[in-house]
Amino acid sequence: MSAEDLKEYLATAVALAKEVGPAFKDGFWRTGQFSKVSDFAAEDKLGNKADCVTAVDRYIEKTIFDRLRQIYPTHKLVGEESTAESGNGCQVTDDPTWIVDPVDGTNNFVHHFPYTGISIGLAINKEPVVGVIYLPILDELYTASRGAGAFLNGEPLPLIRPPALTSPTALSQCALVSEHGSYRSQKTMSLRLRSLARLLTDKQDGGGCLQNLRITGGACPDLTLVAKGSAELYWECGPHVWDFAAGVVIVTESGGAVFDGAGWWGSDIPESERIPKPLNMWNRKIVAVRYIPDLPDKPGSGRELQKKLAKELLDLVDDFEYPPDGTQ
């Protein structure tokens, strides 16, 4: 995998995102081929009334996959609609694997909330190396490939840079983006809400006293906020690999960091072993931290602060049990 290979793969992903952009806009505004309600056909996904799928999801995924099969016939394909609806998961290999969410934030899409878009990622050797997130309604195109940086409409990320970008040293200086998820069992929602409550509670009462909590309705826009520097942290348990594969590349190439998102609250793991672990993108638990500049005269302190903030968060949230997206 050379730099030229990655450049080619990124160009392909960008071209595909732009190709399906008009169909995405037609679906969002119910114009063109999606002007008739019967053609749009929003429906519950696998019987889950808190989740939905539309004709646009299926059309965009099929269009992207058809193109990828023509261009790279030996590459593997993982898509939200084809993989989720089959219920079979996927076999994870070292082969180049395209990971696509045709409409991330489908509930936002259905309700005309503009934080919704197209996510195209590429993993090689089980690691994400190319990411494109296109938010057509906001006219925001995020692009990144390993070792080549991350960009928003051609401008390098993060958009906010030192000295305007500060070095947060505690959760109380951070804005967190997270989601309530589409799994609505009492057990899952109780764990999630208790975790968020701890993060928001005053420090004197044992919480993290987060400065701000935001829920945009989609992992892709959440991760773009971290990459831009508009949010310090993203944490979620339960999203799928297609929700954040592309976003992981964009965050890390913007100077951010990603970690495993399994919480330690109530755990008997010794304090000495509570070190944020590397992300396994197939395990559906993630913490992302924005780029943090070094403190004056302290090289490497920005990276240490990223780990510190991730640890503080994980100390206050529960672990969640979700089946992995793929078998390895």
C-alpha to C-alpha distance for 3 and 123, rounded to whole angstroms: 15
Binding residue per annotation — 243?
Answer: yes
**258 φ/ψ sector (left φ>0, alpha ψ -120 to 50, else beta):** beta
State how beta strands 97-104 and 140-145 pair.
unpaired
Residue 89: what residue type?
A: G
Q: Token pair for residue 6?
A: 């990655």
Helix, strand, coil percentages (3-state) for the chain, rounded to 5, are 40, 25, 40
**Crossing angle of the two packed helices 241-253 and 219-228, in degrees rounded to 10:** 10
Binding residue per annotation — 44?
Answer: no
Binding residue per annotation — 5?
Answer: no
Other Cβ atoms less than 10 A from the Cβ of 270: the count is 7
> Which residues, other chains included, contact 116 with Cβ-Cβ below 8 Å and sequence gap of 6+?
28, 103, 104, 105, 106, 108, 109, 135, 137, 217, 218, 220, 221
**255 φ/ψ sector (left φ>0, alpha ψ -120 to 50, else beta):** left
Residue 300: what residue type?
A: G
Contacts 24+ apart (CB under 8 A), 100-103: 100/61, 100/64, 100/65, 100/242, 101/220, 101/242, 101/243, 102/20, 102/56, 102/57, 102/58, 102/59, 102/60, 102/61, 102/64, 103/24, 103/27, 103/54, 103/56, 103/57, 103/60
Binding residue per annotation — 101?
Answer: yes
Q: Are 175 and 214 in contact (CB under 8 A)?
A: yes
Annotated binding site for Mg(2+): 80, 101, 104, 243
Annotated binding site: 80, 101, 104, 243
